[in-house]
């Protein structure tokens, strides 16, 4: 899984090679459809790693 805060740098590239992605959208700017997960805080990543 690739985690980042930029749609263009951290979601589009990794998705193009088949990786799961998580977008950290601290500003709650918008809801992009390309990423697999969206978080407002990096700590929220723990919620899916516990699955």
Element (H, E) at 49: helix 45-49
pLDDT at 45: 86
Report domain extents, the chain. Answer: 2-49
Those residues with Cβ within 8 angstroms of residue 38's Cβ, 6 or more apart along the chain or in another chain: 22, 23, 25, 31, 32
Structural tokens at position 4:
């980042």
Q: What is the pLDDT along the chain (51 residues), one digit of tens a residue?
A: 999 998 889 999 999 999 999 999 888 776 667 899 998 898 888 888 765
CA distance 28 to 5: 11
């Amino acid at each position: 899984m690739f985690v980042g805060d930029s749609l263009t740098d951290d979601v589009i590239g990794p998705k193009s090679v088949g990786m799961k992605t998580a977008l950290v959208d601290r500003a709650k700017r918008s809801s992009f459809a390309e990423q697999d997960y969206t978080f407002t805080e990096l700590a929220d990543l723990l919620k899916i790693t516990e699955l």
